[in-house]
Amino acid sequence: MLRFLKTLLLFSKSDVVPILAPSLAVAMVLAGPTDFPAFLTGFLWLELHLLTFEIKNQITGLEEDRLSKPDRPIVAGRISPAAAEILYLCVGAISVLYSAYNRVLLCSTIYMAAIICYNEVGMSRNWFLKSFIGSLGYVCYCWGTTVIFDHGKPLSRISVLAVAISGLLHTTTGHAQDFRDRPGDAAIGRKTLPLLLPARVARWSLALLMSLWTVALIRLWAPPPAVSALLALLCCTSAAKFIRDHSVEADRNSYWFYNMWLITAHMLPVFARIAARRVVDPLSFFL
């Protein structure tokens, strides 16, 4: 049993910082304070869906993992591809049933369709579709977890905006993760922006997008000056590190700072909730 639990942990351990933490942050910000049973239910729902994706993604990405992520359970020999396929079907079925029980079946259905498009259909090999479907998964994480934390209540207007922004953030800057994965992506023929574009163009464009998002999010959510300064500092640090050092090891470190920036960005809607009675509707930002 302990070996099996460790295998499950190894399937999804890389998701803790880039996906699990930001998704939980968004849900806690948008749903507000929740009780422990609701938090545990939402956390389990999120982890089941993450695990479903990771199992299938690692089944289809064996060659990539052998090169860049040899500690993952299938390539490490902890579980066979055939057994992993059975595990994928079981976890996926449990995820859907759990979603039906928690009244987020539509969210889960969209998510499962996205997994099929990403892995079985092979859309992850195209740089735009990879980012778009990845952002769709991100939206589902935030959507489902927020609804569960809020005891089944539908998303509010501000919540819909915040979740949509999460998707756009991932679509436009999510390729930050691809810089560290260049050797594996090149080995399986996956076309990502860091491989398609000249190195300096890819890195400077990421820095520009992060900077534009930082300015836009500060204007939209109007956080306190200290929080704005923190977001700007994390943006500059991550961007500068991506630009300065192009090694794979440095890109892993740069990606960590990117995730700290992303988590901070996802926390900003809390200030709209705090000041809801005296702040202009955030949607007016786009008018």
Domain coordinates in residue numbering, the chain = 2-282
Top pLDDT among 282 and 143 is at 143
Lowest mean pLDDT across 85-94, 176-185, 253-262: 176-185
- Write the CB contacts of 287 (distance below 8 Å, at least 6 apart in sequence): none
- Is the CB of residue 190 less than 8 Å from the CB of residue 123? no
Lowest mean pLDDT across 136-145, 181-190, 256-265: 181-190
287 pLDDT exceeds 60? no
State both tokens at 92.
């996926």
Sorting pLDDT into bands at 50, 70 and 90, what band is 276? low
Q: Which residue has the tokens 């735009």?
A: 128
Compute the average pLDDT of residues 188-214. 93
Amino acid at 42: G
Q: Give the pLDDT of residue 105.
A: 97
Phi, psi angle pair for 76, to nearest 5°:
-80, -5
Mean pLDDT of the chain: 90
State both tokens at 137.
């998964």
Compute the average pLDDT of residues 195-213. 96
> What digits encode the pLDDT tens for the residues 124-149?
888 888 889 989 999 999 999 999 99
285 pLDDT exceeds 60? no
- Is the CB of residue 252 less than 8 Å from the CB of residue 180? yes
State both tokens at 160.
């819909």
Rounded alpha-carbon distances, angstroms, from residue 101 to 41, 87, 97, 106: 11, 21, 6, 12
**Closest to 208 in 3D by CA, of 233, 256, 240:** 240
Q: Which residue has the tokens 């800057």?
A: 173
Question: What CATH number was assigned to the domain covering residues 2-282?
Answer: 1.10.600
- Is the CB of residue 149 less than 8 Å from the CB of residue 156? no
Most distant CA pair in the chain: distance in Å? 57
Rounded alpha-carbon distances, angstroms, from residue 125 to 61, 119, 121, 190: 11, 9, 10, 4
